[in-house]
């Protein structure tokens, strides 16, 4: 009787094994079914002691053999499946396309600044630097903007709490024009220099105004530098920057550090002067301020009065980048928003 049952268990086991495939969970179910304490096989093993000596002799080894057999079949299969899984894990598809590494790149502002520097370098300009933390002298007085003069109101200033070692008040420079004085203190004309850098204003921000922004100051000084020189250099620069023929226009204006002073416009690069929404139908875009260096500024820098002539300008780098790359809000530049950064 038991012999038949053992036969059936064997066949049952083999049949079940065919259905589990590589599913380790199903194998565990088989193990419980065929080897657990409640399994049919275990019942037979437990009943051996009650058999007659002859039956014991026959059934005993057969039942044990069946158990061992099932055990080793299961163990082998589990090992085989496990090995195959490990192999799958290490398998590399050498034909699969590689993962692209994302490489960082220059921010649009740095890129624009470098474009500007490259053009001026090609025109034999020097690129110089100036301090962002400044005293009142360099940012205001030396530029002919004395204390209590209403012109100071043109520049809303971030004042620092700490004074410098000489007890002077400190501020974040409101424009790159401070660099004019530093440069002239250390250099004698003739020279032509551009100073790009950050400037700060204590003012509310909107799509066209930021409290921190970049300018590039140009200063050209010599014995007989004129407005005509200025116009041709500016025209050359803007045409190279926008890679288009750009017209320029000067309008009378006022800055304490220039005399005469101008507001500087370029022909609208979107409509080429015909009039469109970008230029409010005027055909012109405002770039910034410029003018012939006021002799008082030369004096502040230690030059002899009326010995030299020069022109200067201070233009916004963001504004140029906005025009060239069609950015509609200056606040994007420092937002840190990757959706913006990655476009350029
Ligand atoms: N410093 C001025 C500003 O930020 C811009 C400026 C105007 C700079 C005229 C100049 C200049 O060098 O000549 O508002």
Atom of ligand 1 nearest to the CA of 289: 7
Atom of ligand 1 nearest to the CA of 293: 13
According to DSSP H, which parts of the chain are helical? Answer: 2-20, 24-35, 40-47, 53-90, 108-122, 136-139, 178-186, 227-242, 295-300, 317-325, 338-341
How many whole angstroms separate alpha carbon 237 and alpha carbon 284?
Answer: 17
Mean pLDDT across the chain? 92
pLDDT value of residue 153: 78
Where residue 1 falls among pLDDT bands split at 50, 70, 90? low
Most ligand 1 atoms within 8 A of CB, residue of 177, 262, 292 to mutate: 177
**What is the arithmetic mean of pLDDT over 1-10?**
84
Distances (CA, A) of 109 to 114, 197, 257, 259, 300: 9, 11, 27, 31, 32
Residue 82: which residues within 8 A CB-CB, separation 6 or more?
A: 24
Token couple for 124: 């034999």
How many whole angstroms separate alpha carbon 77 and alpha carbon 21?
Answer: 10
pLDDT value of residue 289: 96
Nearest residue (by CA) to ligand 1, atom 4, is 175
**pLDDT, tens only, 279-323:** 889 999 899 999 999 999 999 999 999 999 999 999 999 999 999
Nearest residue (by CA) to ligand 1, atom 2, is 314
Q: How far is the CA of 160 from the centre of ligand 1 (A)?
A: 22
How many whole angstroms separate alpha carbon 189 and alpha carbon 248?
Answer: 27
**pLDDT, tens only, 52-85:** 888 888 888 888 898 999 999 888 888 888 888 8
Q: How far is the CA of 197 from the centre of ligand 1 (A)?
A: 13
Assess contact for 218 and 236: CB atoms under 8 A.
Answer: no
Where residue 193 falls among pLDDT bands split at 50, 70, 90? very high
Percent of the chain at pLDDT exceeding 90 = 60
Atom of ligand 1 nearest to the CA of 257: 13
pLDDT value of residue 174: 96
- Which has the closest alpha carbon to 289: 239, 253, 328, 329? 253
Nearest residue (by CA) to ligand 1, atom 7, is 289
Q: How far is the CA of 78 from the centre of ligand 1 (A)?
A: 80
How many whole angstroms separate alpha carbon 183 and alpha carbon 41?
Answer: 99
pLDDT value of residue 150: 80
Residue 234 neighbours by CB distance under 10 Å: 21
Q: How far is the CA of 315 from the centre of ligand 1 (A)?
A: 7
pLDDT value of residue 130: 97
Stated pTM of the model:
0.72
What is the Cα gyration radius of the chain?
A: 42
Q: How far is the CA of 107 from the centre of ligand 1 (A)?
A: 25
Most ligand 1 atoms within 8 A of CB, residue of 213, 313, 316, 318 to mutate: 313
Which of 3.30.930.10, 3.40.50.720, 1.10.10.10, 3.40.30.10 is the CATH number of 108-341?
3.30.930.10
Contact residues of ligand 1, CB 6 A cut-off = 175, 177, 217, 255, 258, 288-291, 312-314
**What is the arithmetic mean of pLDDT over 19-31?**
85
**pLDDT, tens only, 131-163:** 999 999 999 999 999 998 887 777 899 999 999
Domain residue spans in the chain? 2-90, 108-341
Atom of ligand 1 nearest to the CA of 174: 4
């Amino acid at each position: 009787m038991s012999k038949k049952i053992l036969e059936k268990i064997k066949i049952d086991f083999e049949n079940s094994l065919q259905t589990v495939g590589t599913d380790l969970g199903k194998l565990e179910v088989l193990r419980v079914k065929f080897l657990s304490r409640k399994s049919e096989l275990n019942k037979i093993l437990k009943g051996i002691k009650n058999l007659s000596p002859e039956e014991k002799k026959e059934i005993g080894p057969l039942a044990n053999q069946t158990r061992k057999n099932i055990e080793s079949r299961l163990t082998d299969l589990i090992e085989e499946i496990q090995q195959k899984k490990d192999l799958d894990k290490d398998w590399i598809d050498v034909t699969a396309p590689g993962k692209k590494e994302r490489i960082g790149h220059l921010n649009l502002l740095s890129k624009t600044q470098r474009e500007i520097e490259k053009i001026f370098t090609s025109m034999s300009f020097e690129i110089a630097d100036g301090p962002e933390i400044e005293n009142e002298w360099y940012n205001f007085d030396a530029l002919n903007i004395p204390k209590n003069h209403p012109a100071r109101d043109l520049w809303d200033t971030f004042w620092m709490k700490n004074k410098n070692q000489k007890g002077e008040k400190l501020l974040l420079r409101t424009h790159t024009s401070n660099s004019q004085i530093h440069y002239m203190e250390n250099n004698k004309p003739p020279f032509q220099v551009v100073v790009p850098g950050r400037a700060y204003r204590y003012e509310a921000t909107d799509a066209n105004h930021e409290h921190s922004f970049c300018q590039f100051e140009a200063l050209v000084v010599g014995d007989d530098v004129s407005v005509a020189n200025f116009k041709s250099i500016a025209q050359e620069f803007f045409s190279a920057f926008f890679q288009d023929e750009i017209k320029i226009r000067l309008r009378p204006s006022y800055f304490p550090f220039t005399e005469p002073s101008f507001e500087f416009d370029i022909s609208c690069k979107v409509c080429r002067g015909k009039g469109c929404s970008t230029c409010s139908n005027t055909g012109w875009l405002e770039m910034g301020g410029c003018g012939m260096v006021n002799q008082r500024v030369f004096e502040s820098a230690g030059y002899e009065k009326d010995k030299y002539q020069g022109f200067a300008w201070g233009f916004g780098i963001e504004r140029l980048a906005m025009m060239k790359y069609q950015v509609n809000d200056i606040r994007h530049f420092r937002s840190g928003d990757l959706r913006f950064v990655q476009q350029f």
